[in-house]
Amino acid sequence: MRASSAVSAAPPAAKKPDREGVLAVLQDQPTLDRVQGIIRELQLEDELTLEPTLDAALRRIREGGSPRVLILDLSDSTAPIAELSAARSVGGGDLKILALGTVNDVGLFRDLLSAGASDYLVKPISREALAIGLEKRNTGSGGGGPGAGLGQVVAFIGSRGGVGTTTAAVACAWLLAEKHKENTVLLDLDLHFGTVALNLDTDPGGGLCEALEQPSRIDALFVDRATVKVSDTLRILASEAAVAETLMIDAGAIDVLLYELRRKFAWVVIDLPRWVTPTQRVVLGAASRVVILCERSLAGLRDSIRLQTLMREHAPQTQVLLIDAGASGERATVGKSEFEKAVGKSLDASLSHDSKSAGAATNAGQPLPVAAPRSPVVREIEQLITTLAGSAETQKRKMFGFSRW
Ligand SMILES: Nc1ncnc2c1ncn2[C@@H]1O[C@H](COP(=O)(O)OP(=O)(O)O)[C@@H](O)[C@H]1O
Ligand SMILES: [Mg+2]
């Protein structure tokens, strides 16, 4: 079994003592009528607030709203698990989340509970089920804390190409796995041109593209088969799709894939292409941290700002870290303070320009900490991991002897 205390996405969802009201994202009138009816019948004195989308509901919570219950109709969602995870991270561990849907399936029920739902009700919802879900005394029913036992997703994204995103993602995954002894998977979502496998001198493996086109193939067994072992604690999942191949990737497939990976690994590190697709949105929705490698050029500044806006709008639950990318070298023409002023915050870390170490790593197909263990850039990446993991959390996981393989 997974240790439910093992991992927590735990962004600063502050404890709010007086939760009240029901916030709902619904899709049909009969369900709305039923919810209103039950609130009246049970005399809950809860104000019902409706929002048209999950994004709007989460915005309301971020702006200080503190509902007791969130009802989330996922019937039309292409990424129900990522949406639930996002709701759980933003809402905090003590928010009751009632997920609604049309599929009556025990597997889905279990998956939604692990992803953070307090309960899953199948439409048309019965009076009794909804009454139990909305009752005030019934607060401890499942759900658990944020992410309830699932691994953390960290996405690396470059504000431009060639800024060292893959190098940093590989180094981070390697350090998490080898130095911190955490089970880690590194997922390369640039399915055509990704270089994660090259950078680790391994085969990209097979099956990822087909699975992303046919989500029904994705289960625990698939994860065992399709990930390529780098070490006892590090695996990668990548592909090398033919350049001419157009892939029809289903956002729901990424949702299921991330869920399966999070069940198995304490860390899911993702090398994420920066063009935005429905797939990227699902990843951002599931990520507890997004690391943006910023190039201090004019184009890099423009795109860092645009990525920040994207995160604010589509990944409000995530902690965004802006990193001064070392690889930019001479392209870093904008001064650091000017850059920070323009992005509206200070850079969270800086990676040094070190073409000797980076070149040695790239040529040898080794992670930076192996190729150049004593280089300053490795120390800086280690520092970044401390920020990512938070030492207390790592300590906690160690205590529970986290082992998933
Ligand atoms: N800190 C650094 N200093 C100098 N060169 C770097 C650094 N990090 C990476 N590089 C080099 O920059 C190039 C692009 O790196 P890569 O990680 O593939 O970038 P991206 O994924 O952003 O396209 C590689 O040749 C790599 O060796
Ligand atoms: Mg890359």
In a domain, 5, yes or no: no
Instruction: Assess if residue 237 is contained within a domain.
Output: yes
Q: Are residues 171 and 125 in the same domain?
A: no
What CATH number does the domain containing 77 carry? Answer: 3.40.50.2300
Whether 103 and 206 share a structural domain: no
Same domain flag for 58 and 197: no
Q: Are residues 219 and 257 in the same domain?
A: yes
Q: How far apart are CA 369 and CA 360, in angstroms?
A: 11
Following CA atoms 39, 41, 44, 50 in sequence, which dihedral angle do they give, to the nearest 10 degrees?
10
In terms of domains, do 299 and 214 share one? yes
| Tally of domains in the chain | 2
Nearest ligand (C-alpha, residue 330): 1
- In this structure, which residue's CA is closest to atom 20 in ligand 1? 162
Q: How far is the CA of 47 from the centre of ligand 2 (A)?
A: 48
Are 163 and 305 in the same domain?
yes
Residues 180 and 303 both lie in one domain: yes
Domain that holds residue 324: 152-399
Residues 119 and 180 in one domain: no
Q: Which residues line ligand 1 (CB under 6 A)?
A: 158, 161-167, 195, 326-327, 351, 353-355, 358-359, 362, 377
Atom index in ligand 1 nearest the CA of residue 199 equals: 18
Q: Residue 330: which CATH number? A: 3.40.50.300
Q: Whose CA is nearest to atom 7 of ligand 1?
A: 327
- pLDDT in tens for each of the 405 residues of the chain? 343 333 444 444 444 457 889 999 999 999 999 899 888 888 888 899 999 999 999 999 989 899 999 999 999 998 899 999 889 988 888 899 999 999 888 888 888 888 889 999 999 888 878 888 888 754 443 444 445 568 999 999 999 999 999 999 999 999 999 999 999 999 999 999 999 999 999 999 988 998 898 888 898 899 999 999 999 999 999 999 999 999 888 888 898 899 899 989 999 999 999 887 888 888 988 898 999 999 999 999 999 999 999 988 878 778 899 999 989 888 999 999 999 999 999 999 999 999 999 999 999 999 999 999 999 999 999 999 988 876 335 434 443 344 333
* 186 and 305 together in one domain: yes
Candidates 167, 293, 377: which one to mutate for ligand 1, based on the most atoms within 8 Å of Cβ? 167
Which of 99, 134, 169 marks a domain boundary? 134
Is 263 inside any structural domain? yes
Strand 228-229 versus strand 234-237 pairing type = antiparallel
- Please check whether residues 125 and 230 belong to one and the same domain: no
Residue 195 CA to ligand 2 center (angstroms) comes to: 6
* Strands ordered across the beta sheet of 69-73: 48-50, 22-25, 69-73, 96-101, 119-122
Whether residue 159 is found in the same domain as residue 104: no
Question: Which ligand 1 atom lies nearest to the CA of residue 377?
Answer: 1
Q: Convert the chain into a string of H (helix), E (strand) and C (coil).
A: CCCCCCCCCCCCCCCCCCCCCEEEECCCHHHHHHHHHHHHHCCCCCCEEECCCHHHHHHHHHCCCCCCEEEEECCCCCCHHHHHHHHHHHHCCCCEEEEEECCCCHHHHHHHHHHCCCEEEECCCCHHHHHHHHCCCCCCCCCCCCCCCCCEEEEEEECCCCCCHHHHHHHHHHHHHHHCCCCEEEEECCCCCCCHHHHCCCCCCCCHHHHHHCHHHCCHHHHHHHCEECCCCEEEECCCCCCCCCCCCCHHHHHHHHHHHHHHCCEEEEECCCCCCHHHHHHHHHCCEEEEEECCCHHHHHHHHHHHHHHHHHCCCCEEEEEECHHHHHHCCCCHHHHHHHHCCCCCEECCCCHHHHHHHHHHCCCHHHHCCCCHHHHHHHHHHHHHHCHHHHHHHHHCCCCCC
Residue 228 is assigned to a structural domain of this protein: yes
Residue whose CA is at the smallest distance from ligand 1 atom 25: 359
Residue 212 located in a structural domain: yes
Asked if residue 63 belongs to a domain, the reply is yes
Q: Which residues pair with 122 in a beta bridge?
A: 101
Is 175 inside a domain boundary? yes
The single residue listed with the structure tokens 């019948």 is: 41
Separation of CA 330 and ligand 2 centre (Å): 19
Residue 152 burial class via C-beta count within 10 angstroms: exposed 0-12, middle 13-18, buried 19 and up: buried
Taking ligand 2, which is a single-atom ion, which protein residues have CB atoms under 5 Å away? Answer: 165-166
Indicate the residue among 102, 134, 166 that finishes a domain: 134
Q: How far is the CA of 165 from the centre of ligand 1 (A)?
A: 7
Does 405 reside within a domain? Answer: no
| Atom number, ligand 1, closest to the C-alpha of residue 162 | 23
Question: Among the three residues 80, 102, 134, which one is the final residue of a domain in this structure?
Answer: 134
Which structure tokens are listed for 342? Answer: 């323009």
- Residues, the chain: 405
Question: What pTM, to 2 d.p., does this model score?
Answer: 0.76
- At which residue do the structure tokens 């205390």 appear? 5
24, 35 Cβ separation under 8 angstroms: yes
What is the distance in A from the centroid of ligand 2 to the CA of 196?
7
Nearest CA to ligand 1 atom 2: 327
Same domain membership, residue 196 and residue 125: no
Which residue type is seen at 236?
Answer: I
The CA 169 to ligand 2 mean position distance, Å, reads: 9
Ligand at minimal distance from the CA of 188 is 2
Q: How far is the CA of 98 from the centre of ligand 2 (A)?
A: 39
pLDDT computed for residue 286 by the predictor: 87
Residue nearest atom 15 in ligand 1 by C-alpha distance: 164
| Predicted local distance difference test score (pLDDT) of residue 7 | 40
